Amino acid sequence: MIDFTFQNPTRIHFGKTALSHLGEEVRRYGNRILLVYGGGSIKRIGLYDEVMALLKQENAQVWELGGIQPNPRLSPVRRGIELCRQNQVQLVLAVGGGSVIDTAKAIANGACYDGDVWDLFTGKGSNTEVLPLGTIVTIPAAGSEMSNSSVITREEDQCKCGRNTPLNFPAFSILNPEYTCSLPPYQTACGIVDIMAHMMERYFTQVENVELTDRMIEGALRTMLNNAPIVFEKPDDYDARAEIMWTGCLAHNTLLQTGRVGDWASHKMEHELSALYDIAHGAGLAIVFPAWMKYVLPRGGAKKLAQFARRVFEVPEAFGSEEAIAAEGIARLEAFYHSIGLTTTLHENSIGDQDFDRMAQRAVALAGGNLGFFLRLKAEDVKAIYQLAL
């Protein structure tokens, strides 16, 4: 285990009464509010009206930025920053899933930065202040409600960049699993894959003597495998939705990476997919992650992959060698993805190999020349993984 410092400042209100805490949070941070949200789902389930009624009770002035799309874009971020500056906004409030929250994070940072907000994502600029951010979560997936990360796509060149900074931690987040019961099965499935991927990226490490966090990740992955079938059979099962929602929050709040170095190659390779083809992030991860596993298996990855297979998917020793056990674990992961309605190849999503060179080169360039840490990847390795995903 390596040295680490851990701090997560986000205050969580979880459960059926969580929204009742919104008023006290507004009083803590200020009642000049930018409300950021996505499409019409929060209005269809009545959440928009509930939030607006609570804000009215606090005599809040509210400016709205709606229509945030999946795979969030830079242009709405810039519009949000202007709204904050023009109206002396005191609190940015995101209501939605990861794309809405990531957009709100970029706005909260950019509003306190004199230059172009994109500079913060490329490393050309930095800020030391941020507007307070609150979130009300409707899609358990990204874990952005308690994480230090955000990802934004610049439309003009389809460049998708992530930024990790302590300034990205929301001040508070409100999580009510009831808001997730109306999610379509596809969104639910993509969220489940994203949550699991956040844990698997951390799990596959070359750091030794990390048994505690290994076991925590394995247990959380088992929780996802146990509860996923329930929500597809009974979409309004509160208890199963709660397990998934809380796991998603803990999966990406930095606790599970303490004392270890994760990989993150699969996420960065998927960013190229979703930037170019606008595929849902979770759907892309269901394609990329098994291909990455197949590539690293014969290149020093057998021991950890076999441990994953035994402890998460209960692959028995009867399969023989570590390589065989690991391969069966990968097969069972793919079967799980299929069982929740997702595909595991690019061809099934009408994506060919025409952009592999471009995707591989940019993924490696954005990572500084080497992608991943479990196995260091060059552009030719990344291209080979995309080929495995065909």
Mean pLDDT, the chain, integer: 97
User: Looking at residue 40, what is its pLDDT?
Assistant: 82
- The tokens of 299 are what? 């290149």
User: Looking at residue 39, what is its pLDDT?
Assistant: 83
Helix (H) or strand (E) holding 372: none
User: Looking at residue 75, what is its pLDDT?
Assistant: 97
Among 119, 112, 115, 55, smallest CA distance to 85 is for 112
**Helix, strand, coil % over all residues of the chain, rounded to 5:** 55, 10, 35
Determine how β-strand 32-37 pairs with β-strand 91-96. parallel
**Mean pLDDT of the region 286-300:** 98
- Which pLDDT band, with edges at 50, 70 and 90, does 298 fall under? very high
pLDDT digits (tens, 9 = 90+) for 11-69: 999 999 999 999 999 999 999 999 999 988 899 999 999 999 999 999 999 999 999 99
Q: How many helices (DSSP H) and strands (DSSP E) are in the chain?
A: 15, 8
User: Looking at residue 371, what is its pLDDT?
Assistant: 96
pLDDT digits (tens, 9 = 90+) for 83-101: 999 999 999 999 999 999 9
Q: Please compute Rg for the chain using Cα positions.
A: 20
Q: Is residue 239's pLDDT more than 90? A: yes
User: Looking at residue 11, what is its pLDDT?
Assistant: 98
pLDDT digits (tens, 9 = 90+) for 339-348: 999 999 999 9
Q: In whole angstroms, what is the distance from residue 289 CA to residue 241 CA?
A: 24
SS3 of residue 336 by DSSP: helix
Which residues does residue 63 pair with via DSSP β-bridges, in sequence order?
34
Q: Is residue 112's pLDDT more than 90? A: yes
Phi and psi (nearest 5°) for 17?
A: -105, 10
Q: Is residue 152's pLDDT more than 90? A: yes
Among 125, 129, 267, 133, smallest CA distance to 196 is for 267
Q: Is residue 110's pLDDT more than 90? A: yes
SS3 of residue 263 by DSSP: coil
Cβ neighbours of residue 117 closer than 8 Å, sequence gap 6 or more: 74, 77, 78, 81, 106, 107, 109, 110
pLDDT digits (tens, 9 = 90+) for 213-229: 999 999 999 999 999 99
Q: Is residue 181's pLDDT more than 90? A: yes
Phi and psi (nearest 5°) for 175?
A: -125, 110
The residue among 368 and 176 whose pLDDT is bigger is 176
**Cα 281 off chain centre by:** 8
Phi and psi (nearest 5°) for 346?
A: -70, -40
- Which pLDDT band, with edges at 50, 70 and 90, does 115 fall under? very high
What region, left, alpha or beta, does residue 217 occupy, with left being phi > 0 and alpha being psi -120 to 50 degrees? alpha
The model carries a pTM of 0.95
SS3 of residue 154 by DSSP: strand
